[in-house]
Amino acid sequence: MIKQLSIAAIALALSAPVVAEKKFEEHNNMMDHGDGHLMDMTGGMVMGQNTDILPGGCDSIAATKEITVHAGHKYSEKFPGTMFAFDVQEYQFEPCTKLTVNFVNDDDVRHQWMMHGLPRYLYPKGMFHLEVTGPGKISGTLIFPPGDKTYLVHCDIAQHMEKGMKGQLKIGKGDGDLPSIPGVSAYVIQDDYSDSVPEKSLADTVVEEITDLQKSVVGNDSFFSGLTVIGLAIGLLVAPLLARKFKGMSGGEVITYIIDLIKEAIEIIIKAINWLVSLVKK
């Protein structure tokens, strides 16, 4: 019985799930669902793939190009306020170019390289889309339409574009810059921190005044801070007075006396603060 139990325990230990880091995956064994839609069971997807149909207005394929695009958190480091980015924010190609995009996800989350505004008769939903979940690589091909136009490329996962994962792809001369492309064009909504600087509080004002006072009394490079010096001076003056006062008093009397003293001290401090504030406001 004991032997059986120990075998069961060993079996349980061996079957315990091991949390392994996800390995880089080449998504090159895709199921073809037709209409340029390919996907696999491990988070790889291509939509709008077109390797051979010439868009209307293109006499022939003008050029055949290939690029590798990286997506990852680390590429956002050069753009303050962002969290995600592609390694490159701007691309330019001749009209009617056949482009193969190798999309590499350097993060452990899901990323996309999605291009919008393509002719819908050729690209379902006007879109060319590459997607990889976790570290990996996927490739897709499309043929650009003719004409000068600027296309948005972005990651459509919630908040990834807003946090920096977007770029622009110009066909020909393009037709202007899109807004909020990190490092390329101005943000539509610029971060504004001007209201977040808190107004000076009364306590800050008092501390500043006291510090100034200390500097004028003790100087800046004194070993003792001004406050220490003031504290020591008060202590030296008050201690012998108190010692004389407490002679012959009962414990209760001493406590009552100290509380009265503290009350008086607080009143004096409040008066001093009011005076300092009135000085500042002048």
**Shortest spacing between CB 115 and Cu ion, in angstroms:** 14
Q: How far is CA 45 from the centre of its chain?
A: 27
Residue nearest to Cu ion as judged by C-beta position: 155
Does 166 contact Cu ion by CB under 5 A? no
The binder of Cu ion chosen from 54, 152, 157, 210 (CB under 5 A)? 157
**Shortest spacing between CB 131 and Cu ion, in angstroms:** 9
Q: Which is nearer to Cu ion, 111 or 149 (CB)?
A: 111
Does 27 contact Cu ion by CB under 5 A? no
Number of residues that bind Cu ion (CB under 5 A): 5
Dist CA 43 CA 271 (whole Å): 70
Q: Which is nearer to Cu ion, 98 or 160 (CB)?
A: 160
In single-letter form, the type of residue at position 35 comes to: D
Grouping H, G, I as helix, E, B as strand and the rest as coil, residue 109 is coil
Q: How far is CA 64 from the centre of its chain?
A: 37
Tokens of 154: 């972005």
Q: Which is nearer to Cu ion, 88 or 157 (CB)?
A: 157
Does 160 contact Cu ion by CB under 5 A? yes
Query: What are the CA-CA distances from residue 103 to residues 85, 94, 129, 215 (Å)?
Result: 13, 20, 10, 62
**Shortest spacing between CB 73 and Cu ion, in angstroms:** 9
Give the single-character DSSP code of 188: S
Does 155 contact Cu ion by CB under 5 A? yes
Does 111 contact Cu ion by CB under 5 A? yes
- Asked if 124 and 115 count as a contact pair (C-beta separation under 8 A), the reply is no
Q: How many CB atoms neighbour CB 93 within 10 A?
A: 17
Q: Which is nearer to Cu ion, 96 or 132 (CB)?
A: 132
**Shortest spacing between CB 109 and Cu ion, in angstroms:** 7
Q: Which is nearer to Cu ion, 130 or 171 (CB)?
A: 130
- As a three-state string, the secondary structure of 150-167 is EEEEECCCCCCCCCCCEE
Tokens of 55: 């868009």
**Shortest spacing between CB 156 and Cu ion, in angstroms:** 8
Contact region with Cu ion (CB under 5 A), list: 2-10, 92-100, 164-172, 210-218? 164-172
Residue 126 CB-density burial (10 A; 0-12 exposed, 13-18 middle, 19+ buried): middle
**Shortest spacing between CB 275 and Cu ion, in angstroms:** 59
Binding site for Cu ion (CB under 5 A): 111, 155, 157, 160, 165
